[in-house]
Amino acid sequence: MTSPQPLLSRKSGPLNGAARIPGDKSISHRALMFCALFLGETIISGLLEGEDVISTAAALRAMGAEVERGGDGLWRIHGVGIGGLRQPDQILDMGNSGTSARLLMGLAGSHPITATFTGDASLLKRPMQRVMTPLAMMGVKFEAQEGGRLPIKITGPKDLLSIEYRLPVASAQVKSAILLAGLNARGATTVIESTPTRDHTENMLRHFGYDARVEKLADGAEAITVIGQQELQPCAVDVPGDPSSAAFPAVAAVLNEGSDITLSRIAVSGRRNGLYRTLQEMGADIAFEHERIESGERVANIRVKGSTLKGITVPPERVPSMIDEFPILAMAASCANGTTIMTGLEELRVKESDRLAMIANGLKQCGVNLEMGESSLTIHGTGKPPKGGAKISTALDHRIAMSFLVLGSVTDEPIQIDDATPIKTSFPNFVKLMGELGVGISEGN
Ligand code: S3P
């Protein structure tokens, strides 16, 4: 285990310049998985080289795909074809990555092989029953810890059954685990989602020439169907920048008067851009420039200027499109003028940490007036940054760590985090990039 790395963030002044944000984490995982399922060689550029994605790469290698790094973000994959994964001869360690664990359980479970999944102290606490239930309906066998927790041993059946499954939680991970498994089932596998979640799996299926049919149902839900056991078509993937990572410099720029930054080539589809829409409603000067489609994804350059924010009520139906952005939105809300009300946040309790509690405790320590409910957070901003001066515990959660470091760029007293090591899971060059834009984050207690 690496030793904890404390970091300190102090008042910075305006952010200026342009930055290229690392590749989108969700798309990077899927790019590796789809390339591993393509029979032949493909190239990925712009891949996020964070620890979470490296866990996926290692697991795919252990299951027979050739996965090689050629240079910065440039990876060459030689895939095994649909149904071609082999039994790994080692335990698959997913580290901190829920996406790796859940999606790869779908993939591995769709093959007649046995594989054991484990992870770090954070991942061992996270619920896996949500993927086990539908995969068990497809014929996959599980030996799990109490409460459906990792480590989990899974054995895929010889003939995987196709299913129709309505998601009980709005989760792109569960949807994707089923669709990935469905690629190796005979016939049609359908996932029905009442609330739209990120659709990178569907987009990438189409990018690889695979028919993913999306149908609107009478009740407004969407049914996504794949017909299994067809091969993918060759194509390269160029991964766009991650809107969830871009959120950190974007909010730092909003909060620091006089800022003007441009974050280039960010994934901005309506299923991911909820934070940016919310900040705009709060009064932030944010513009999507040069919007276009690349590698099957909507991308744009995001220009952000320093702005004055007001509190708002965030519509609960928007939550899935900004599910990872509530920690950083809460930082912005704590500086806004008036009350920001966030509801429908129950999923935040089962992320890399109990994010609702971590946000509320940390902000209280910084002097913010707030109320936390079972699945809600109400933050009373004064129009000025809170006093800060807190030591924040990050509990293996990268987004908690980065959010409080951003808040420290505007508080009178510096904010310290107890451990920056989890930042490497999603945004390895965070401190350097923030420094280049004008936010000084230094080591130390
Ligand atoms: C992800 C989906 C979301 C998100 C996670 C990445 C994905 O999780 O929080 O960071 O890549 O599918 P849920 O599906 O659990 O909401």
Q: What is the largest CA-CA distance in the chain?
A: 62
Our mutation pick for probing the ligand 1 site, out of 33, 53, 99, 375, counting the most ligand atoms within 8 A of Cβ, is 99
Q: How many CB atoms lie within 10 A of CB 312?
A: 18
Using pLDDT thresholds of 50, 70 and 90, give the confidence band for residue 445. Answer: low
**Percent of the chain residues topping a pLDDT of 90:** 98
Determine the distance separating the centroid of ligand 1 and the alpha carbon of 169, expressed in angstroms. 11
Q: How many CB atoms lie within 10 A of CB 382?
A: 14
* 14 cis-preceded (ω within 30 degrees of 0): no
pLDDT in tens, 194-240: 999 999 999 999 999 998 999 999 999 999 999 999 999 989 999 99
Average pLDDT over residues 73-88: 98
pLDDT in tens, 302-353: 999 999 999 999 999 999 999 999 999 999 999 999 999 999 999 999 999 9
CA nearest 156: which of 142, 146, 170?
A: 142
> Which residue is catalytic, options 324, 354, 412, 419?
324
Question: Ligand 1 pocket by C-beta < 6 Å: which residues?
Answer: 26, 99, 171-173, 176, 198, 323-324, 347
Determine the distance separating the centroid of ligand 1 and the alpha carbon of 99, expressed in angstroms. 6
Determine the distance separating the centroid of ligand 1 and the alpha carbon of 25, expressed in angstroms. 10
The per-residue pLDDT for 2 is 79
Residue 380 clears pLDDT 70, i.e. is over it: yes
pLDDT in tens, 141-180: 999 999 999 999 999 999 999 999 999 999 999 999 999 9
Using pLDDT thresholds of 50, 70 and 90, give the confidence band for residue 45. Answer: very high
> Does the annotation mark 324 as catalytic?
yes
Helix (H) or strand (E) holding 141: strand 141-145
As a whole number of angstroms, the distance between CA 58 and CA 250 comes to 32
Can you list the positions of beta strands (E) in 295-392?
297-305, 313-314, 337-342, 369-372, 377-382, 391-392
pLDDT in tens, 234-291: 899 999 999 999 999 999 999 999 999 999 999 999 999 999 999 999 999 999 999 9
CB 103 within 8 A of CB 177: yes
CB 409 within 8 A of CB 252: yes
The alpha carbon of residue 329 and the mean position of all alpha carbons in its chain are separated, in whole angstroms, by: 15
Instruction: 398-401: list long-range contacts, CB under 8 Å, 24+ apart.
Output: 398/96, 398/352, 398/422, 398/423, 398/424, 398/425, 398/426, 398/427, 399/244, 399/324, 399/327, 399/328, 399/351, 399/352, 399/355, 399/426, 400/327, 400/352, 400/353, 400/355, 400/358, 400/359, 400/362, 401/7
Average pLDDT over residues 380-392: 98
Q: Which atom of ligand 1 is nearest to the CA of 172?
A: 14
Mean pLDDT score of the chain: 97
Q: Specify the residue with its C-alpha closest to ligand 1, atom 15.
A: 171
Q: Which atom of ligand 1 is nearest to the CA of 175?
A: 14
The per-residue pLDDT for 153 is 98
CB 336 within 8 A of CB 279: no
